């Protein structure tokens, strides 16, 4: 019985993955880079660069190798530019039309990005982190024995997910998650799973349109 439950657990997680967009996203070589990164000055006077003083900086990296950079000046105005980036294990190159390429050294963890010594922190959507428990699981490929799914999403991009069956057996995964647009990807030992998500004030809906899967989660 426990062996069949384990199979059901694997099937459940596999159903929240695999469409053309998801395949591209999960195969991206530097997944931890994706998302919104923020640097904030520790003083009201900001940090001076090339004659301008800046209070904050936001870099958004996409799996299409596009980037957007926004710089908040101390006077409240915002500088913005966009373009393409190229990246390897230690260097990142920003290319933007009409500007010289910029080559920078970087270091990366799941929630910290150090660019030429400046430390950036990745931020998730305000209402996403928290404890979530399923109120409804539906879809033609959901194993009948699965009764509940719970997910803990931490602000630092660590997660734990637990699936329960009707007999009270449980299976847990822990790992790292990252986001792009309406996709959330869970990376854990032995695999990764991509779901589309819809976020409300107290609800989180995970779905896969290819398989007709949907799990409606309530905030605990």
User: What is the spatial distance between Cα 192 and Cα 62, in angstroms, rounded to a whole number?
Assistant: 18
**Residue 145 pLDDT grade (very low, low, confident, very high; cuts 50, 70, 90):** low
Contacts of 210 (CB under 8 A, 6+ apart): 18, 19
Comparing CA positions, the residue from 108, 68, 58, 74 lying closest to residue 88 is: 108
Domains with residue ranges and CATH for the chain? 25-122 (2.40.128.280), 130-219 (2.40.128.280)
Give me the pLDDT at residue 212, please: 65
> Mean of the pLDDT values across residues 161-169?
80
User: What is the spatial distance between Cα 184 and Cα 208, in angstroms, rounded to a whole number?
Assistant: 11
Please give the DSSP secondary-structure letter assigned to residue 167. Answer: T
Comparing CA positions, the residue from 204, 174, 185, 217 lying closest to residue 18 is: 185
Give me the pLDDT at residue 211, please: 61
The fraction of the chain above a pLDDT of 90, given in percent, is: 56
Average pLDDT, the chain: 84
Where helices occur in 95-183 by DSSP H, the ranges are none
User: What is the spatial distance between Cα 37 and Cα 35, in angstroms, rounded to a whole number?
Assistant: 7
Tell me the whole-structure pTM to 2 decimals. 0.82
- Check pLDDT > 90 for residue 14: no
User: What is the spatial distance between Cα 77 and Cα 94, in angstroms, rounded to a whole number?
Assistant: 22
Q: pLDDT tens digits for 30-82?
A: 999 999 999 999 887 878 777 778 999 999 999 999 999 999 999 999 999 99
């Amino acid at each position: 019985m426990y062996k069949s439950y384990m199979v059901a657990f694997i099937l459940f997680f596999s159903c929240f993955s695999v469409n053309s967009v998801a395949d591209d996203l999960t195969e991206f070589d530097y997944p931890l880079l994706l998302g919104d990164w923020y640097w904030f000055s520790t003083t009201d006077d900001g940090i001076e660069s090339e004659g301008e003083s800046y209070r904050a900086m936001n870099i958004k990296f996409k799996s299409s190798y596009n980037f957007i950079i926004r710089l908040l000046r101390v006077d409240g105005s915002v500088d913005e530019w966009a373009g393409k980036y190229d990246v390897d294990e230690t260097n990142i190159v920003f290319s933007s039309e009409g500007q010289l390429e910029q080559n920078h050294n970087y270091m990366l963890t799941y929630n910290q990005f150090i660019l030429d010594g400046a430390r950036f922190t990745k931020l998730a959507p305000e209402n996403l982190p928290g404890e979530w428990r399923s109120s409804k699981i539906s879809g033609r490929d959901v194993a009948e024995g699965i009764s509940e799914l719970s997910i803990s999403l931490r602000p630092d991009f660590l997660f734990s997910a637990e699936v329960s069956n009707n007999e009270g057996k449980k299976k847990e995964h822990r790992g790292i998650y990252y986001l792009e647009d309406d996709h959330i990807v869970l990376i854990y030992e032995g695999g990764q799973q991509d779901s589309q998500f819809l976020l409300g004030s107290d609800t989180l809906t995970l779905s896969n349109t290819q398989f007709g899967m949907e799990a409606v989660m309530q905030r605990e």
